[in-house]
């Protein structure tokens, strides 16, 4: 049956694009456009609020809850690359925490985002957040050369990248621990440099990077708590300076008492 209306002649199949314009007056079109725009803004605002909530949960150590929030956004196809990188970062932070507790499941957790890291690479080559996430991944897999290159790229694209300097500090702390734990007979091995065998050099490098992070005006309270906690642990475990450690645990707790690092510092001060 042929659809008929006042804009079509008998037996004529209407041009849907042309007739839609005739059927909808300019005012109606404007209302519909406004409605679609409002729906888009509302959706974007909801997505942004959920994303911010996920980041806040990550900073307090609630990794699973943060992951679930962003996963729901992902299921709805609402994730942009910034949010997808944040999802990868949450998983890697959780994997690092699991590894520090000798939980063998950290490997499976880290490998779960390997595909995402690869897929995000081309479109985010100039994105410092991508390179930070990649650095966290290769640090877990102990690929030192790729780790250093990734952090160099992150700092090239964002010279005041606080989290990158904190991660550099963590890397040097790990290297200091390795140097201390290395068997005496291997410390004179010609394949290792003097710096590789000198934990004191690593400790100085770690402290320099944490201090660099604290010197940026862009540092957030959570980042300040993180850097101060790391300095306190370094001072306590490597330099045996309890007074300096107590000072930085206090600064960490004051900066962000509800964050992971503020909570850890409060426990240290008891």
The ranges assigned to domains in the chain are 160-270
- Of 100, 95, 102, residue with least CA distance to 117: 95
| CB-based burial, 96-107: b 16+ in 10 Å, e otherwise | bebbeeeeeebe
Residue 157, both tokens: 């694209």
pTM reported for the whole predicted model: 0.73
The stretch 88-103 carries a mean pLDDT of 89
The more confident residue out of 77 and 80 is 80
The stretch 86-105 carries a mean pLDDT of 89
Residue 109, both tokens: 């957790």
Q: According to the model, what pLDDT value does residue 8 have?
A: 44
Q: According to the model, what pLDDT value does residue 257 have?
A: 94
The stretch 222-237 carries a mean pLDDT of 94
Name the band, by pLDDT with cuts 50, 70 and 90, for residue 83.
confident
Q: Is the pLDDT of residue 186 over 90?
A: no
Other beta carbons less than 10 A from residue 92's beta carbon: 25
Task: Look over the chain and give the mean of its residue pLDDT values, rounded to a whole number.
Answer: 78
Whether the CA torsion 261, 262, 267, 270 is positive or negative: it is: positive
The whole-angstrom separation of Cα 189 and Cα 35 is 71
Q: According to the model, what pLDDT value does residue 174 have?
A: 86
pLDDT tens for 232-251 read: 999 999 989 999 999 999 99
The more confident residue out of 188 and 203 is 203
Q: Is the pLDDT of residue 120 over 90?
A: yes
Residue 87, both tokens: 């999802």
The stretch 47-70 carries a mean pLDDT of 60
Name the band, by pLDDT with cuts 50, 70 and 90, for residue 49.
low
The more confident residue out of 3 and 167 is 167
Find all residues with CB under 8 Å of 223, minimum gap 6, and list them.
162, 163, 166, 213
Residue 251, both tokens: 């600064």
Q: According to the model, what pLDDT value does residue 13 have?
A: 39
pLDDT tens for 192-222 read: 455 566 888 999 999 999 999 999 999 999 9
Q: Is the pLDDT of residue 89 over 60?
A: yes
Q: Between 162-181 and 144-157, two packed helices, what is the crossing angle to 10 degrees? A: 160
Only one residue has tokens 């990077």, namely 209
Q: According to the model, what pLDDT value does residue 143 have?
A: 84
Which long-range contacts (C-beta less than 8 Å, at least 24 apart) are formed by 176-180?
176/202, 176/203, 176/206, 176/238
Q: Return the HEC string of 74-109.
A: HHCCCCCHHHHHHHHHHHHHHHHHHHHCCCCCHHHH
pLDDT tens for 144-175 read: 889 999 999 999 999 999 999 999 999 999 88
Count Cα neighbours of 117 within 13 Å in the Cβ-side half-sphere. 20
Q: According to the model, what pLDDT value does residue 181 have?
A: 79
């Amino acid at each position: 049956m042929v659809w008929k209306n006042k804009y079509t002649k008998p037996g004529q199949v209407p041009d849907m694009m042309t007739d839609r314009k005739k059927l909808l007056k300019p005012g109606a079109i404007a209302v519909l456009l406004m409605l679609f725009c409002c729906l888009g803004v509302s959706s974007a605002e909801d997505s942004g609020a959920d994303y911010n909530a996920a980041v806040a949960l990550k900073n307090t150590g609630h990794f699973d809850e943060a992951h679930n929030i962003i996963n729901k956004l992902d299921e709805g196809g609402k994730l942009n690359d910034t949010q997808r990188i944040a999802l990868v970062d949450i998983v890697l932070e959780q994997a690092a925490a699991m590894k520090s507790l000798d939980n063998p499941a950290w490997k499976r957790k880290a490998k779960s985002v390997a595909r995402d890291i690869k897929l995000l690479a081309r479109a985010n080559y100039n994105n410092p957040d991508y390179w930070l996430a990649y650095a966290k991944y290769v640090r877990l897999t102990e690929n030192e050369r790729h780790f250093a290159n990734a952090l160099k790229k992150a700092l090239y694209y964002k010279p005041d990248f606080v989290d990158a300097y904190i991660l550099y500090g963590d890397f040097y702390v790990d290297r200091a621990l390795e140097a201390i734990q290395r068997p005496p007979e291997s410390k004179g091995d010609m394949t290792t440099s003097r710096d590789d065998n000198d934990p004191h050099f690593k400790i100085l490098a770690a402290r320099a990077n944490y201090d660099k992070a604290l010197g940026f005006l862009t540092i957030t309270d959570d980042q300040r708590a993180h850097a101060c906690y790391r300095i306190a642990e370094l001072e306590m475990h490597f330099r045996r300076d309890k007074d300096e450690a107590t000072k930085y645990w206090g600064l960490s707790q004051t900066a962000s008492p509800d964050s992971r690092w503020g909570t850890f510092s409060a426990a240290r001060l008891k």
